[in-house]
Structure 1
Amino acid sequence: MRKDLTKIALVCTFFLATQLTTYAQNKKYGSLSFNKAVNISGKQRMLTQRMGKIYLYLLDNPNDFKAQKNLKITKIIFEKQISILDKNASLLITKNKLAEVKDTWEKYKKFIESTPNKKDAEKIINTNSTILKYANNVVNAIILESKGGSSDDSYVAEEDSELKQIINKAGRQRMLSQRLALYYFANKPDLKNKKTESVLRNVYSELDNALNDLLVSSFNNDRIDEALGDVTVLWESVKENNDKLFKQGYQDQEIYKLSNTLTKLFNKITNLYEKVKVE
């Protein structure tokens, strides 16, 4: 019995070593670079929040046909990107994390696809954090998978790992930009509950703190600094009037547009980090 267990352990060790050797040779996530995979998986987090935000917005703005179209497009992109990430995944842990997202998505999608109503809006408020958590787990799994393809040079390997973390952090800002508006709408008198205001304040704080981290990143170049300058100017205007955020001082269209502008700026920054080369 003990010999059999030893053989199994040796086989598992050999299999894992073979996988990691393959990653070390390819240094890719299937047909994608790992930087691209971290970026795409990070964007999935944003899309979960964007769908929830649009749904809550449509509660009081049911005739905004552009928002209706954006909700449908976002749903399609989310599903297509799940398929791409799943197709290119190699490690079982990554595939399992993607399976969790797909399973949760089937439930979340039913709320998103309904004609906007208060009952399903409340369900979205109560469940959006779950699918967000699972989507975030996929990002972490891909970053873990990428470490199997690190360079033999320990310095380069560490730099490469830090770059993926900064891509992750910048990408997370896209999600927080959408989540900020989602919880602004969730904080309306007819929807708010014990948690909605605290979530809104936590999102605001994380956005602010993470922006400071990006501003001092060693990976910044002239183009990234310029893009960070653009988003900082906009964010400072939000901070200077944060009472509007916490006391429902924005018009629906205003906060909707603000979240999209922030997302667009952070998306540009994330894409620029993705293209940084570690040598």
Structure 2
Amino acid sequence: MKKSIKVVYTFVLLFVIQFSFAQTEYGTLSFNKAVNISGKQRMLTQRMGKIYLYLLNNPTDYKAKRDMKITQIIFEKQNNILEKNASSSLTKSKIKEVKDTWVKYKKFLNSSPNKQDALKVINTNSTILSYANNVVNAVISESNTKNNAADVDVADEDNELKQIINKSGRQRMLSQRLALYYFANKPDLKSSNTENKLKSVYNELDTALSDLLISSFNNDRIDNALGAVMAKWEGIQQNKQRLFKQGYGDKEIYDLSNDLTKLFNRITSLYEKLKVE
């Protein structure tokens, strides 16, 4: 009889452990991974817009055309992954907003580069970006709801980690958005709005980088990765008028934005792997 009770107790204990584990995951993903992936979606919306505007003046660049195709495939696949693993109605509704807007955005992006559709890309990219950002916030909110940490301090620290993953991931988006609005400031597309957005993106990127440098989650690997991105960023920072006055070649700013994105992606992945205990 005692053996039977012990078996039942063990089974119940295992069930509780499994249930608790399930409640701290975003479907088959960890919440850290879900925040990272949803954050990448923001970056991809801007990368596609950047590529389209680049192709407007560089229509024979085969690699850029290939980048557009690959980026679209990844964006759609990751949207499906996020949708499949979402459990809250809020997250699902935010993902639907992205998918609905994507239909229109994709139509512009797949047109043969022309000024009329370029203006539509400029006008639409911020809308889909906003919706993609809402998905990130919904994932973080879902994480907070499912956080079963008995220790309030642990729960708070875990939320802080999600926020730093979010902030680091946002830097990838800003790196692409910086180039997008650099191209949007070409003489045939430029407006006071595009000029202001370029400066706004630059300032946000610069400020958020300072925030990452002083994060309490930083370790030696993260510090080294931040040092690499700072070296790259200081080259832009020391001569920012070159950015605002169209001083870069098209291919130069295209590649520079990709280099920054890769560096910030590395940092975000390192934050993702951290655990609060």
Please indicate, yes or no, whether the TM-score normalized by the shorter chain is above 0.5: yes
Q: How does 1:63-102 map to 2 (within 5 A)?
A: 63-102=60-99
The alignment partner of 1:217 has SS state of: coil
Match of 1:114 in 2: 111
- Give, as a single letter, the amino acid of the residue that structure 1 aligns with 2:62: F
Check conservation: 1:178, 1:260, Cα contact below 8 A. yes
Give the CA deviation at 1:25.
5.0
- The yes-or-no answer on 1:55 pairing with 2:46 is no
- Cα distance in 2 between the residues matched to 1:201 and 1:214: 20
Match of 1:241 in 2: 239
Match of 2:199 in 1: 201
The alignment partner of 1:195 has SS state of: helix
Give the CA deviation at 1:23.
6.9
Q: 2:159 aligns with which of 147, 158, 161?
A: 161
- Cα distance in 1 between the residues matched to 2:231 and 2:68: 28
- Cα distance in 2 between the residues matched to 1:267 and 1:24: 27
Match of 1:37 in 2: 34
Q: How does 1:100-249 map to 2 (within 5 A)?
A: 100-150=97-147, 151-249=149-247
Residues 181-233 of structure 1, C-alpha deviations (whole Å, 9 max, x = no match): 00000000000112000000000000000000000000000000000000001
Dislocated runs of 4+, deviation >4 Å: 22-25
Q: Which runs of 5+ in 1 are unaligned?
A: 1-21
Between Structure 1 and Structure 2, how many residues are aligned? Answer: 259
- 1:250 to 1:210, Cα distance in 2 relative to 1, 3 A: same
Give the CA deviation at 1:26.
2.6
Match of 1:258 in 2: 256
User: Normalising to structure 1: TM-score of the pair?
Assistant: 0.91
- Cα distance in 2 between the residues matched to 1:123 and 1:135: 18
Check conservation: 1:38, 1:139, Cα contact below 8 A. yes
- Give, as a single letter, the amino acid of the residue that structure 1 aligns with 2:67: N
Give the CA deviation at 1:277.
1.2
Residues 127-175 of structure 1, C-alpha deviations (whole Å, 9 max, x = no match): 1000000000000000000012221210110000000000000000000
- Give, as a single letter, the amino acid of the residue that structure 2 aligns with 1:268: R
Check conservation: 1:24, 1:149, Cα contact below 8 A. no
Give the CA deviation at 1:111.
0.3
- 1:87 to 1:123, Cα distance in 2 relative to 1, 3 A: same
Residues 91-123 of structure 1, C-alpha deviations (whole Å, 9 max, x = no match): 000000000000000010000111111110000
The alignment partner of 1:220 has SS state of: coil
- Cα distance in 1 between the residues matched to 2:24 and 2:114: 47
Identity %, equivalent residues: 71
- Cα distance in 2 between the residues matched to 1:224 and 1:143: 22
Match of 2:9 in 1: none
Check conservation: 1:25, 1:149, Cα contact below 8 A. no
- Cα distance in 2 between the residues matched to 1:268 and 1:149: 27
- Cα distance in 1 between the residues matched to 2:242 and 2:251: 14
Give the CA deviation at 1:176.
0.1
- 1:61 to 1:152, Cα distance in 2 relative to 1, 3 A: same
For the aligned residue pairs, the C-alpha RMSD in angstroms reads: 1.2
User: Normalising to structure 2: TM-score of the pair?
Assistant: 0.92
The alignment partner of 1:152 has SS state of: coil
The alignment partner of 2:192 has SS state of: coil
Q: Which runs of 5+ in 2 are unaligned?
A: 1-18
